[in-house]
Chain A
Amino acid sequence: MNFNIAVAGNPNCGKTTIFNALTGAKQRVGNWPGVTVEKKSGHYNQSDHKFDVIDLPGTYSLAAFSAEETVVRQYLENDEADVVVNIIDASNLERNLFLTTQLIELGKPLVLVLNMMDMANEKGLQIDVDTLATLLGAPVVPVVGRTGEGIDLLKEKILRVSTEISMKARLIDICYPRDLEIEIDKLHQLIQVNDVTDKHSRWTSIKLLESDKQTRDEVRLHSNGTDILDQAKISVGRIEGLFKDTGRAIISSARYGFIQGAMRECVVESLVDSVDYSRQIDRVLTNRWLGLPIFGLFMWLMFKLTYDIGSIPMDWIDRGLVALMNFISDLLPDSMFASLLVDGVIGGVGAIAVFLPNIFILFLIIAVLEDSGYMARVAFIMDRVMHNIGLHGKAFIPMIMGFGCNVPAIMGTRILESRRDRILTVLINPFMSCSARLPVYVLVAGAFFPENAATVIFSMYILGIVAAIGSGKLFSRTILKGMSKPFVLELPPYQRPTLRSLVLHTWERGYLFIQKMGTVILVGSVIIWVLGYFPTEVELDRDYGSERTTLTLEYDSQFIALESKFKKSVDQDRSGYHSEMIVYESSSSYLELLEQYQLLKKELSSEKNQQLSSLRQQEIGDITEQKWIGRVGKIFEPIVRPLGFTWRESVALITGFVAKEIVVSTYGVLFGVGEDVDEGSQGVISGLRSSGMTPLVALSFLVFTLLYTPCLATVAAIRRETGTWAYTLFSIAYSLGLAYSLAFAVSYFGRMFNWLS
C-alpha cells in the first residue's frame, strides 16, 4: 500500500535531518502551488509498503500567519496525509509542544519524535517518554537525528500507525479550563448536529473561539453556518469577558497551561551544573565588541573562498568551452547552424556557466552558516542596520553577496522567512555592483579618468549602495508597505552541520541555477545571436573588397621598390669592393645592407598587416551597424541621445543585457579591435576617445551601466524567486528608469556647470 507521511515541526527542530534520514537521497524539491515556499518530498519502502514523505515547512503554530503556516495547515486539513510525524526538539520541549497540541486537535494519526535527546540530556533534562506518550495519546520515539540513532524504531512506529487500526484512535483531547471547555462543547455539539462529515469538529470549534478567519469562512458555507457563527459570537464574547483578552490569546495561553502540566509530570530537571556550550560560543560571536569584527571576518572569508577557489574550476570550464567551440568549428562546415551552436548557444550559455563554481561554493558556505546556527546570529548582529531599510537582519547576507554576483545573491534570499522581505531584497539587490560590471568601469574610467580611475570606480560602488538603500526605503514605504512582520527571531543552539545535509542543500539550490541556464539564458543568448547574425547580406557604403585589393597592391609595389633599391645599392657596393680574400657575399658591408633591408621589409609587412586588420575591423564595425542589432541600436539612439550616447553605447548596453561584461567585448567589435579585448585594451580606449565621447558622457554611461536592468541571468533569478512576472517587469522598468534619470541628471547638470566637457 501507499501511505502519505507528513513531517511537521518547529523551525530549528532538526526536521530536515530526520526527513533526510528517512528518505535518503531520493528527494524532489519543488514549490507549493501558488506560493514560493519550498516543497520537499521523498519516499522509502518498508514491508511491501511505500511511504511518500512530505517535509512540511517549519512552523511554530498553525495560525496561518505566514505563507509557511498556511501551507502546512491547508495540507493537514485537506486530509492528504495518512500519518503526521511531529518532530520535537527535546531540548526545547515546552515551546515545541505548542505545535503538537494543535496537531493533536487536528485528529490525524500522529507519531511524536523527540529529537536531539543527547542535547536534552546535556542540558540535564530527564524526559519520561512513556508518561509523555500517555499524556499526549500518541507514540513517542526518542531519536538523535544527527547520528541516526532511533530512526529504525521510528520507521517501525510509522508502519504500525499506518497499518494497524488500533494504533490510530488513541488521540486524547487537550484539556482547557472549565469555562473554555463549556463553550467548546456548545460549538462542538452544534457542528456535529449540523455537519457529520466534519472530521475534526473539536478543532473547528476551538478555531471558532479564536475567531480564525479561515475557519469562519469555511463554516459559513455549511448548511447551518449562520447558526454556528451566531453561537461562536456569543461564546467568544463570554470568554473574552471572563478572561479579559482575545479568544486567540486565551486559547494559546491555555495550551501552554496544558503543556506546563504535562511537563511537570514527565520532565525532571536535574540540578547538575550543565554547560551551555552554545551560550559560551555566543559570548564571543555575538559579543558587544567582538561580534561585529568577527562577522566582518566571516564575510570577508566567504567572499575570498567563493571567488578565489571558484576561479580555479572557472578557468577549467572556460578552457573546456573554448576547446569545445574550436572542436565544433573544425567539425562543422562554416554555416549558420555552426555559428548558432558556437557563438549563440555555447558562447552565451558558457558565459554564464563559468559562474557555476562560484555559485556552488557560495551555496555551500551558506549551508554551513545556516546549519550551524550562525545565520540567526547574523540577523541578530545586523538587524539594527537592515531595519533602517525596512528589512530583517538576515537580508544583509544576500546584499553583500550581490557584490560578487547578483544571481546567487537573489537565490540566497530564500534564507528570509517573510515573502515581503524576500521581494524587497530581490528588488534592491541588482543595485549592488556585481563583479561583471567591474571590467566596464575599468575600461571607461581608464580611458577618460586615467588620473582618478580608482576614485571613479569606488564611487560607482557607493552609488550602487545608495541606490539600494534609497530604493529599499522607498519600496518599504510604498509598494511593500504594511506587509512587514515583527522581528521575533529564535537563536537556536549551535550545531555541527552534517556533511549529508550540506551536500543536499548545496545541490538543491545549485541545481535550480543549472535548470535556469538550460532555459531562460539559452533562449536569451539565441535571441542576441539572431540579432547579431541577420541579415546575412548587408550593403556597405564602402567597398571593402576593392579597398583591400588596392591596399595589397600598394604594399606589393612598395615591396618591389624596396627590393630594387636594395639590389641597386648592392650593385653599387659590389663595384667598389676589391678584396680577394673574402667573397663579396660574406663581406661586412654586404651583411649590413642585407640586415637593413630585412628590417625595412619586416616593418613594411607589419604595417601592411596592421592596415589590413584595421580595415577589416572597420568593416566589422560597419557590418554590425547594418545588422539587426545595430539597427536596434539606431532605433534607441534618439532615446539615449539626451544622455549624450550614440548608437554605439546603445548597442553596447543592449548586449550588456545578456551579461554586463559583454559591454566591453561589444565595444571591441564596434571599434574594430576584435572581440578579444580586455579592459586595458589600447584600441578600445583610443576608439572611445576618438568617438567624440566626453568624460562627462563617459561618467553618465558608467552610471547607466551600474543601475540599468540587470543581466538576463539576474532577471531569470528574479522571476524565479518572486514567482511572478509582475515584480520581474517592475524590477526591469524601475532600474531602467532610475538608470536613465540619474544618467540624465549627470549629463544635464554636467553641461549646465560645464564639468568634464
Chain B
Amino acid sequence: MFNFKRPRHKLHISDENDLRLSDLKPGEKGRITEIGGSENFRHRLIEMGLTRDAEICVDKYAPLRDPMELIVKGYHLSLRGMDAEKIAVERIV
C-alpha cells in the first residue's frame, strides 16, 4: 500500500530502463537482468532458479494485492511486492 511513497530499492541499472518485476501485470513476461537486496535474499532467489537471464512470468496477484504469484522454470513461486521490486527485468513480448 505504502510502497508508492517509499523510494525504490537502488539497483545498478540505468534509470531510463528501470523496469522491476513488481511493475509487470498478470500475464506479462520478463527476463531477469539484476537482483538487488541483501546477500541472503539474492542467494536464496538464485538458488530457487531466479538466475540472471531467467524468464519469469507474472501469473496473478493475491486477493489482497500482495504477494504475487510467478511462474519460473516451470513452477509456481510467490514473492511479496516489496521483494519483487528488488528484481530488475526487461519485458519479453
Contact = CB atoms under 8 A, between A and B. Distances in A.
Interface of A: 60-61, 63, 65, 91-95, 98, 123, 246, 248-249, 252-253, 256, 278-279, 282, 286-289, 291-292, 376, 379-381, 383-385, 387, 393, 485-493
B63 A60 contact: no
A548 to B, nearest CB: 68
B64 interface: yes
B83 A487 contact: yes
B42 interface: yes
Interface in B40-83: 40-49, 51-52, 54, 59-67, 69, 73-80, 83
B39 interface: yes
B67 A92 contact: no
A120 to B, nearest CB: 10
B75 to A, nearest CB: 5
Contact of A491 (B42, B77, B83): B77
A381 B78 CA distance: 11
B51 A488 contact: no
Interface residues of B, number: 34
A65 B63 contact: no
Given A60-B48, A94-B49, A252-B46, A487 B74 contact: no
A384 B78 contact: no
A383 B48 contact: no
Nearest to A99: B47
Contact of B52 (A253, A278, A279): A253
Contact of A291 (B45, B46, B63, B83): B63
B78 A288 contact: no
A248 B47 CA distance: 10
B13 to A, nearest CB: 13
B62 A291 contact: yes
B43 A248 contact: yes
A485 B80 CA distance: 12
15 contacts: A60-B48, A61-B47, A95-B48, A95-B49, A95-B75, A246-B42, A246-B43, A249-B46, A252-B46, A286-B69, A287-B63, A289-B63, A381-B62, A485-B40, A489-B79
Contacts of B80: 383, 387, 486-487
**Interface residues of A, dominant DSSP:** helix
A158 to B, nearest CB: 28
Given A60-B48, A487-B79, A385 B43 contact: no
Contacts of B69: 282, 286, 380, 491
Given A94-B49, A256-B51, A383 B62 contact: yes
B42 A249 contact: yes
A291 B65 CA distance: 12
Nearest to B69: A491
Given A246-B42, A385-B64, A492-B76, 15 more contacts: A92-B74, A95-B73, A95-B75, A246-B43, A252-B43, A252-B47, A286-B69, A380-B78, A383-B62, A383-B67, A384-B66, A488-B83, A489-B79, A490-B75, A492-B75
Given A92-B74, A95-B75, A380-B69, A488 B44 contact: yes
A544 B90 CA distance: 90
A292 B63 contact: yes
Contacts, number: 120
A624 B62 CA distance: 57
A277 to B, nearest CB: 13
A572 B15 CA distance: 119
A488 B63 contact: no
Contacts of A65: 40, 43-44
Contacts of A92: 73-75
Contacts of B78: 376, 379-380, 383, 487-491
A485 B83 CA distance: 11
Contact of B44 (A380, A385, A486): A486
Nearest to B59: A279
B51 A286 contact: no
A500 to B, nearest CB: 26
A126 to B, nearest CB: 14
Nearest to B12: A244
Nearest to B75: A92
Contacts of B42: 246, 249
Residue among B44, B63, B69 facing the most chain A CB atoms (10 A cut-off): B63
Most buried by B among A65, A246, A387, A491: A491
Given A248-B43, A252-B43, A387-B80, A286 B60 contact: yes
Nearest to B54: A256
Contacts of A487: 67, 78-80, 83
Given A486-B41, A488-B77, A488-B79, A63 B64 contact: no
B73 to A, nearest CB: 5
B61 A489 contact: no
A252 B42 CA distance: 11
The listed residue with most A CB atoms (<10 A of its CB), out of B37, B41, B65, B69, is B69
A291 B64 CA distance: 9
A486 B48 CA distance: 13
A379 B67 CA distance: 9
B74 A94 contact: yes
Interface in B2-26: none
B87 to A, nearest CB: 12
Contacts of B48: 60, 95, 488, 490
A488 to B, nearest CB: 6
Given A490-B77, A491-B69, A491-B77, A384 B47 contact: no
A488 B62 contact: no
A278 B74 CA distance: 13
A380 B62 contact: yes
B45 A488 contact: yes
The listed residue with most A CB atoms (<10 A of its CB), out of B54, B67, B79, is B67
B43 A288 contact: no
Q: Residue among B45, B47, B69 with the most chain A CB within 10 A?
A: B47
Nearest to A290: B63
A188 to B, nearest CB: 23
A286 B63 contact: yes
Contacts of B75: 92, 95, 490, 492
A489 B49 contact: no
A288 B60 contact: yes
B76 A98 contact: no
A1 B60 CA distance: 53
Nearest to B77: A490
A251 B62 CA distance: 33
Contacts of A286: 60, 62-63, 69
Contacts of B77: 488-491
Nearest to B76: A491
Contacts of A289: 63
